[in-house]
Copies of this chain bind each other. A is one copy, B any other.
């Protein structure tokens, strides 16, 4: 039930609506968890029933009303307890690696195309994370509070992860070009 715990973690930082949660999951906390809005609303409902959260209806004018969820004492205790129970490392499941494993089935150019598509996506994510880093943690030598320090470490993970992916993509693309004598694609001259 790690989605529930991820939600607790985010709401503990600051209470918000399901809609806002969704955006936080696809944005700033996306480097450790992702969830769709359907998943989030369902889970919020369950968690409220169990007493982990409490909802407060916020009336708004000019836009739909919303429910603001905050973590209860019970929810907080649940989260604490969960932290202390050891977990196995998350299993790796990556489409790109499966594709590469059987890359010999198609032409090197076609594999290169897939790799470059992937590379670009990781590049974009890295940009986003670096943006967050320079906004939220501009001073590398600053003394951080406990909460900021832990959050920064998870962001650091995201940055290392994407950097490693890019390095791997570079390595594979380089090797492929060497062994198949493909020259890098250049912008066509007008």
Q: What residues of chain A have their CB less than 8 Å away from a CB belonging to chain B?
A: 2, 5-6, 8-9, 12, 29-34, 76, 79-80, 82-84, 86-106, 110-111, 114, 117-118, 121-122, 125, 146-147, 149-151, 153-154, 156-158, 160-161, 164, 167-168, 171-172, 175, 179
Contact = CB atoms under 8 A, between A and B. Distances in A.
Contact of A114 (B33, B83, B98, B154): B83
Interface residues of A, dominant DSSP: helix
Copies in the complex: 2
Contacts of A30: 92
B157 A97 contact: yes
Contact of A179 (B8, B93, B149, B156): B149
Contact of A84 (B33, B90, B110, B125): B110
